[in-house]
Structure 1
C-alpha cells in the first residue's frame, strides 16, 4: 500500500522495528500524558477559512536565521537513526536537504556530524544544518564538541534546556533498553585527542545546575547563533530574548522528560506574544498533518520541527521514506493554505483558528 499520510508511515515503522526500538522512539515519560496531548490538541483547534482571496499560487518559503527554506518545516534533532534503517542520519540528511529544508543534527546521532553535513550537501550544496547540544558539566569537553560542529559547517547551536536530569521513560526500563546495541555509539560524543582525531565516546551527561550563566559562557565559546530548545513558559521566552538568544524552540521534548506538560500548540500563543516577533519561534511536537502546520503558523510560529515522523519515514523506506514524509506534509500544507485563502505563509494569521487554546495558558 502506498502511504497517503504520516500515520501510514507510523504503522509501517512499527511493523518493521524491533518492539524495544519502537518503544524507544514512540515512548515518553511516566504515563505519557504529554505524548498523547501533543497530537490530540490539534483536533481541538478549528480552522475558519477565508474565501474569494485569489490564492491560486502559494508561496511556502520562509527565512530562518539567514537560511531560505522551501517550507516552514524542518527536521528536529532525533537520536540513533541507525537503529531505524541502515541509511541512518546520512539518509535523513540527504532527504531533508533535497527538500530544501534544514536539519538539526542531534548530539546523540549514530553518525558523525561531518559525515551528516557532507551527505546533506551531496544532495543540495546549499543544505543548512544546526547542531543540537546537551551542555556537558565538563565545559572544556563541551567546547570541543562545539568546535567540531562549527568545523562541520553547522550554522547555529540548538541548546536543549529542558533536561537537567533524565526523564522517567518506563518503556525503556521495562525493555532493558538502556544503551545502544552492538557496535553503535553516539558518534558526536567522542573524546577529542591531542592528535586532532576522536577517541572513545563519552556518555551524555546532563548539567543539573544549568542556568543563564551557562548561556553567558556559550557566548564566549562560539560565535554561532544560539537557539534554546525546550521553552514552554512565556517568561523564559522573554528572558531568552533579553539574553540575546537568536531563536527559540517551543518544545516539551516530545513528552519524554516531564509528563503532564501541556501540548506545545497550547503553549505557543503566549510564548509568541512574549517574543513579539523579535526572534524566530519554532514549534516542536505533535505535527502530523499540514493543517497542524497551518495552525502553528497561525498561533505565531515561524516554522515547525518534525521529530518522530522523520524516524517513521526512515524506518519505513530509508532516505526515500523521509523524502516522502516531507513531500506529503508539504502537499497537505499547500492544500490547507489554498482552502484557507492564503497565498503565502506570511498571510497565515490568528483569524484562521478557533477556538484559541485555554485562556489560562495565555495568561502565564
Structure 2
C-alpha cells in the first residue's frame, strides 16, 4: 500500500462527506458542518491553511546537521516525532458509515503507535464513544490521551478518572467544543469554563491536563493560572466559529506570553512535515494533525494512518536537514520568513 492508494480508497469511502481534495484547504467543503468542512463560509478552516503557506522556509546547507533528532518528550513518554493524532469522534455523523467508531479509533491509535507516536481519543454527545476510545487505549497500556468536551464538571471529572484508571499519559478538554454545532444538535449540554471550574478539574487528577482551543495570549495565561500543563492552540479546525484568526497567526503571541511555563501544542491546517517545521519555528513544542489522519484511517486502517504520519516524518527530517536544525530545540524563527 502507498499514499496514492490510501487517498483513492479514502475518497471512495468518504464519498458524499469528503472529497479528499489534492489540497485539503476547506474550499470545496465550506459550510459543511456536520461533515468535514468549516463553519459557515469556511473562512477559519481556509485561513489555517492559507496562512501556513505564507510562512516560508529559509534554505541553509552549510552546516553539520546531517542526522537530525526528531524525538519529543511528551510528559515523560518519548515520541519519535513531534506529531500527535488529534481527537476526532463521531465518524458516522460527520464522515459516513464506512468505518464504525471502534474501527476508526483503533486505526488511529494503533497506526500512530506504529509510526512512533500517540493518538488522542475524544469525547462526544454519545458517552459510548469515549468509552470505546478508553478500551482501545487500555489495550496499548494507556499510551494516549483522553480529551473531553466541556460538559458539567462532575461529568468531566468522572471521565478524567476513567483515563487515570487505564494509565493514560494525560487528559484534557476540547474547551472550544463549547460552541460545537454537532454537540448542540445531539442535545449534549456544553459551555465555556471560568478559571475556578477549570482549576477544580485540574486539581482533581494527577494526570497532566491539557486545554485544547486556546487562541489568545490572555487565555493562554489563564490556562497556566488554572493549572493546565499544556495547551493546544486551536480553532477546532475552523468548525465552531467563522472568521477566526488562523492558528499560525495566533501562535507567536501566545508563545511570547507563556513559553516555558506550559507545553504549547498547535493544530489547524497542518498537512505536511514542512508545516510541522513551520509551526515549531513559530514557537510550538509539537503539533496535532486531524484530517490527514482521517484520510489514512479510511484509506488503509492502521497501516494508512502509519503511512500518513511516516510521510510527514520524512518531510520534517528533510526540512531539518535543509535548514540546519540538528534537533527540535534548534528550530527557530531565523529559519523562516513570514509574509503576512
Q: TM-score range by the shorter chain?
A: 0.7 to 0.9
Q: 34-43 or 73-82: which moved more?
A: 73-82
Secondary structure at 1:164's aligned position in 2? helix
C-alpha displacement of 1:35: 1.0
CA deviation map 1:214-263 (0-9, x unaligned): 11211343222211100000111122123321011000000000111111
Aligned 8 A contact 2:209 2:229 in 1: yes
C-alpha displacement of 1:20: 4.0
Match of 1:100 in 2: 116
Pairs within 5 Å for 1:78-227: 78-81=88-91, 83-85=97-99, 87-108=103-124, 109=129, 112-119=132-139, 121=140, 128-137=143-152, 139-167=153-181, 204-207=188-191, 209-227=192-210
Q: RMSD of aligned C-alpha atoms?
A: 2.4
- Aligned mate of 1:314, from 297, 303, 323: 297
Match of 2:52 in 1: 42
CA deviation map 1:177-217 (0-9, x unaligned): x66xxxxxxxxxxxxxxxxxxxxxxx53212x521121121
Aligned 8 A contact 1:310 1:322 in 2: yes
Judging changes above 3 Å, is the alpha-carbon distance between structure 1 residues 134 and 106 closer, same or farther for their aligned structure 2 residues? same
Secondary structure at 1:26's aligned position in 2? coil
Aligned 8 A contact 1:88 1:110 in 2: no
C-alpha displacement of 1:353: 0.9
C-alpha displacement of 1:143: 2.8
Judging changes above 3 Å, is the alpha-carbon distance between structure 1 residues 295 and 131 closer, same or farther for their aligned structure 2 residues? same
Aligned 8 A contact 2:202 2:227 in 1: no
Match of 2:26 in 1: none
Gaps of 5+ in 2: 20-31
Judging changes above 3 Å, is the alpha-carbon distance between structure 1 residues 254 and 141 closer, same or farther for their aligned structure 2 residues? same
Aligned 8 A contact 1:85 1:318 in 2: no
Aligned 8 A contact 2:121 2:134 in 1: no
Secondary structure at 2:41's aligned position in 1? coil
Match of 1:239 in 2: 222
CA deviation map 1:41-80 (0-9, x unaligned): 1211111122211221110001122221100000111113
- Aligned mate of 2:10, from 5, 9, 13: 13
Pairs within 5 Å for 1:244-323: 244-323=227-306
Larger radius of gyration: 1
Gaps of 5+ in 1: 180-202, 359-364
C-alpha displacement of 1:161: 1.6
User: 2: CA distance between counterparts of 1:257 and 1:279?
Assistant: 25
Pairs within 5 Å for 1:64-79: 64-79=74-89
Aligned residues: 317
Secondary structure at 2:321's aligned position in 1? helix
C-alpha displacement of 1:90: 1.1
TM-score by length of 2: 0.85
Judging changes above 3 Å, is the alpha-carbon distance between structure 1 residues 32 and 10 closer, same or farther for their aligned structure 2 residues? farther
TM-score by length of 1: 0.80
